């Protein structure tokens, strides 16, 4: 049964938000967006005025209230987007450009409020990587280390593995076989840390801590540098002003927002990183991280970048089968490219 929530695409565009590099496990199957939690598969679709939601439960009876609570929290629906867009557009107009405003061309992009543990692992996978391959890695983690949640439209869905499931002694070797390269060590070490001196509970509690404290805590985790820490702060820990900076964002600042710097910079020093981040905060304000996500999406050559359209997600045992799933086959083919 489908339930309805009045919501315009200007407040939330599923096709844009779920394809712009924030999240990596949503799949688009026959017009429906689907995502596995521990106890259900969440199903979403939308038209010009309405968001439709449903669920396939793992064991329990249908729980529409729980699904709505997840949607409201996950998509930060308590934050009204259109007033923010108007503010960003007014600020953007102070920097004349021949190109159409990204805030006109890309409505409905908002920052998600994701599970901090999943976000941490996902962005560890993002190092020297692209959205398509990060998505394959996240799917492989679920298929090989999570548990089967349910089936929908002929496809099997698996939960994202918790730290204890990624802390076993053989995990690093298995991840390397799956094509994770040097990221295998980072994921395994961070999972072990989360089951010993650190905890998921403390990670989640960072939502209530000042940005500086949360950022420093995240830097203690293996494979987490300043940019990855900022991605986690923005997309999981309620630090809405935080702008994750890389050379791509640096070029946007130079090109569109009169940031003063050299164009041929390949690496960013700590002062440069902080200066660029503050430049965007000075322009866009308390939700600068949200504004930057629109700028980032508008600079992508193609939001339909090969992810999120699923042919099949086949069941895998903990041991890698001879007949691997399409995801694992594809990752094995690419392993030589992404290992270091």
9-51 pLDDT per residue, tens: 999 999 999 999 999 999 999 999 999 999 999 999 999 999 9
| 273/134 Cα distance (integer angstroms) | 24
Active site residues: 227
Q: Find, among 230, 263, 229, 258, the residue nearest to 248 by Cα.
A: 263
Residue 20 is encoded by which pair of tokens? 């712009």
The CATH 3.30.310.40 domain(s) of the chain lie at: 1-78
| Cβ(41)–Cβ(86) below 8 Å | no
Taking only the tens place, the pLDDT of each residue in 181-205 is: 999 999 999 999 999 999 999 999 9
Q: Averaged over 244-249, what is the pLDDT?
A: 92
- Check: CATH 3.10.180.10 for 114-239? no
Q: How confident is the model at residue 62 (pLDDT cuts 50, 70, 90)?
A: confident
Tell me what pLDDT residue 61 has.
86
The CATH 1.10.1670.10 domain(s) of the chain lie at: 240-302
* Cα four-point dihedral sign 213, 214, 215, 218: positive
Q: How confident is the model at residue 133 (pLDDT cuts 50, 70, 90)?
A: very high
| 197/281 Cα distance (integer angstroms) | 34
State the first-to-last Cα distance of the chain, in angstroms, to the nearest integer: 47
159 to each of 12, 39, 166, 234, how far by Cα in Å? Answer: 25, 8, 13, 23
Tell me what pLDDT residue 303 has.
58
Tell me what pLDDT residue 336 has.
37
Q: Averaged over 64-71, what is the pLDDT?
A: 97
CATH for 240-302 is 1.10.1670.10
3-state SS class at 50: strand
pLDDT at 305 over 50: no
Q: Averaged over 70-88, what is the pLDDT?
A: 98
Least confident piece of the model among 101-110, 161-170, 295-304: 295-304
Give the position of tokens 């409201």.
Answer: 72
The CATH 1.10.340.30 domain(s) of the chain lie at: 114-239
pLDDT at 301 over 90: no
Which of 223-227, 311-315, 333-337: highest mean pLDDT? Answer: 223-227
Tell me what pLDDT residue 339 has.
39
- Check: CATH 3.30.310.40 for 1-78? yes
The crossing angle, in degrees rounded to 10, of helices 270-284 and 81-92 is: 110
Tell me what pLDDT residue 84 has.
99
Taking only the tens place, the pLDDT of each residue in 258-300 is: 999 888 888 899 999 999 999 999 999 999 999 999 999 988 7
Tell me what pLDDT residue 60 has.
79
Q: Averaged over 138-144, what is the pLDDT?
A: 98
pLDDT at 334 over 60: no
Average confidence score pLDDT of the chain: 89
Q: How confident is the model at residue 316 (pLDDT cuts 50, 70, 90)?
A: very low
């Amino acid at each position: 049964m489908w339930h309805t929530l009045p919501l315009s695409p200007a407040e939330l565009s599923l096709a844009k938000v779920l394809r712009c590099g924030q999240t990596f496990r949503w799949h688009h199957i026959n017009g429906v967006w689907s995502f596995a939690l521990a106890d259900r598969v969440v199903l979403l679709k939308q038209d010009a005025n309405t968001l439709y939601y449903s669920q396939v439960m793992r064991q329990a009876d249908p729980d529409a209230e729980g699904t709505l609570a997840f949607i409201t929290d996950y998509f930060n629906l308590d934050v009204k987007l259109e007033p923010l867009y108007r503010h960003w557009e007014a600020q953007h107009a102070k920097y004349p450009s021949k190109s159409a405003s990204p805030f006109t061309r890309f409505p409905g992009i908002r920052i998600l409020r994701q599970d901090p543990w999943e976000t941490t692992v996902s962005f560890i996978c993002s190092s020297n990587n692209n959205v398509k391959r990060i998505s394959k890695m996240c799917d492989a983690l679920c298929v090989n280390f999570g548990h089967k949640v349910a089936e929908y439209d002929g496809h099997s869905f698996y939960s994202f593995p918790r730290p204890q499931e990624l802390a076993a002694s053989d995990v690093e070797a298995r991840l390397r076989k799956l094509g994770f390269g040097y990221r295998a060590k980072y994921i395994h070490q961070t999972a072990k840390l989360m089951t010993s001196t650190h905890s998921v509970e403390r990670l989640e509690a960072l939502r209530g801590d000042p940005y500086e404290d949360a950022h420093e805590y995240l830097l203690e985790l293996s494979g987490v540098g300043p940019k990855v820490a900022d991605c986690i702060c923005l997309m999981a820990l309620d630090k809405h002003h935080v702008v994750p900076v890389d050379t791509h964002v640096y070029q946007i600042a130079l090109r569109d927002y009169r940031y003063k710097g050299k164009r041929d910079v390949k690496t960013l020093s700590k002062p440069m990183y902080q200066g660029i981040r503050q430049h965007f905060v000075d322009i866009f304000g308390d939700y600068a991280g949200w504004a930057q996500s629109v700028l980032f999406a508008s600079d992508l050559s193609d939001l339909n970048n090969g992810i999120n359209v699923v042919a099949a997600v086949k069941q895998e045992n903990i041991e890698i089968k001879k007949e691997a799933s399409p995801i694992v086959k594809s990752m094995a083919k690419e392993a030589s490219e992404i290992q270091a």
